[in-house]
Amino acid sequence: MDFALTEEQTAIFDMAQAFAQDNIAPHARDWEAQGTIPKELWPQIGELGFGGLYVSEESGGSGLSRLDATLVFEALSMACPSVAAFLSIHNMCAKMIDTFGSDALKSRVMPEVLAMEKVLSYCLTEPGSGSDAAALKTRAEKTDQGYRLNGTKAFISGGGYSDAYVVMCRTGDDSPKGISTLLVEDGTPGLSFGALEDKMGWRSQPTAQVQFDDCTVPAGNLVGEEGRGFSYAMQGLDGGRLNISACSLGAAQTAMNLTLQYMSERRAFGKSIDQFQALQFRLADLEIQLQAARTFLRHAAWKLDTGAPDATKYCAMAKKFVTETGSHIVNQCLQLHGGYGYLADYGIEKLVRDLRVHEILEGTNEIMRLIVARNLLAER
């Protein structure tokens, strides 16, 4: 394995970072205060090819590898993890439609999806089924027109904001094989939304319950085959776990950059605080942890790209390790800022808040341990 990035990969990272520093970073605090991301941002991101990062080139996407995509999310999250993570959700949905959707569905929706004129949200979690996702209750009954959808989805990023929702729902029995995937477009009769959630972090992302009350969905909006939805959802999660890990990594790198700058300027006892050996050792520990997390993440991405049989285990391990490491690093960077780190002006406390949820979504880190343990036992 070559650990060096190619020239193309370096160019991808640099392009994403430059865009983010110019168009996202200066506004991140304002967007957080407003509780929304301007819709005008997404077509600009779409122009870079980031609306379909790993959508096939045949479908008009960028056709990047999973490793390439982690570079994009790492670079964007250096400006704002909340914005980067929202883009990850859109890409997970776009890949699902590209891989499993009918030609008719793809020809109708994918051009707008790739241009990010149509922003997508992912609807799996329900009020009564989080980690036990296969226990979902939202049901779609077959009708002459297509499907009649009833149920509620919870903690949906983009609820009431996005243009379409990729919904996991039950069309058959109570097993995972009874779950299908429907694309529900904004404005569909019977589609409504709860109040915006008041969250700890990711505050620029509108998050709300999504409600379906006799929601009529055309038969052509079925993604793939009936009864395969849970399988589709699980396949998307390996890449999603890499993406959210990359978001933790980028935020941790920003925290380190800010801390190094602050420590060179902050003086105590007659010298800058980066001259105290005890604090130098703490910086060294954080840098070691950051580089270990980056290497682990890219190894897992390589596993997924090459179709390795243990790719799911590695994605789970990387998600658990990188998100927890990222949270530890930003929290320690806040500590090194002292009281100033607690103030919004210095940018660290937002990172602490934004990264906390990374240990919960895309499968909690407890579920990641479960996946790893089961794989270990199966390998005996």
Coil/strand/helix, residue 39: coil
- Return the CA Rg of the chain: 21
Residue 2 has pLDDT above 90, yes or no: no
Residue 189 to residues 149, 186, 201, 208, 348, Cα–Cα distance (Å) = 10, 9, 32, 18, 43
- Tell me what the mean pLDDT of segment 212-228 comes to: 96
User: Catalytic: which of 349, 362, 366, 379?
Assistant: 362
Domains in the chain, start-ordered, CATH in brackets?
Answer: 7-115 (1.10.540.10), 120-229 (2.40.110.10), 230-378 (1.20.140.10)
Is residue 362 part of the annotated active site? The answer reads yes
pLDDT of 69 > 80? The answer is yes
What is the C-alpha to C-alpha distance for residues 301 and 315, in angstroms, rounded to an integer? 7
Rounded-to-integer distance, Cα 222 and Cα 171, Å: 11
Residue 128 has pLDDT above 90, yes or no: no
Query: pTM, whole model, 2 decimals?
Result: 0.95
pLDDT for 290 beyond 70:
yes
pLDDT of 292-330, one tens digit each?
A: 999 999 999 999 999 999 999 999 999 999 999 999 999
Longest dimension (CA), the chain: 80
Instruction: Report, as an integer, the average pLDDT of 58-62.
Output: 94
Give Cβ neighbours of residue 231 (< 8 Å, ≥ 6 apart): 176
**What are the start-end ranges of the H helices in the chain?**
7-23, 28-34, 41-47, 66-77, 81-100, 103-115, 229-265, 277-305, 311-336, 348-356, 365-378
Name the residue with tokens 């949906």: 156
What residue type is 271 in one-letter code? K
Q: Quick one: pLDDT at residue 350?
A: 98
**Range in 92-101, 122-131, 301-310 with the lowest mean pLDDT:** 122-131
Task: Give the Cβ contact number of residue 176 at 10 Å.
Answer: 19
Does the pLDDT at position 79 exceed 70? yes
Mean of the per-residue pLDDT values of the chain: 96
3-class DSSP assignment, residue 1: coil
- CA 269 to each of CA 274, 275, 276, 335, 336: distance values in angstroms, whole numbers, following the listed order: 12, 11, 10, 18, 16
pLDDT at 273 over 80: yes
pLDDT category at 1 given cuts 50, 70, 90 is low
Query: Pick from 361, 324, 18, 351: which is nearest to 157 by CA?
Result: 361
The single-letter DSSP state of residue 317 is H
* 3-state helix/strand/coil string of 242-309: HHHHHHHHHHHHHHHHHHHHHHHHCEECCEEHHHCHHHHHHHHHHHHHHHHHHHHHHHHHHHHHCCCC
Average pLDDT of 355-365? 95
Query: What is the mean predicted confidence (pLDDT) over 247-272?
Result: 97
Residue 165 has pLDDT above 80, yes or no: yes
Q: How many CB atoms lie within 10 A of CB 171?
A: 19
Q: Indicate the pLDDT class of residue 379, thresholds 50, 70 and 90.
A: confident
Instruction: Please report the pLDDT score of residue 372 as a whole number.
Output: 97
Which one-letter DSSP state was computed for residue 127? T
**pLDDT score recorded for residue 129:** 85
Note the pLDDT of residue 262: 97
Tell me what pLDDT residue 341 has: 97
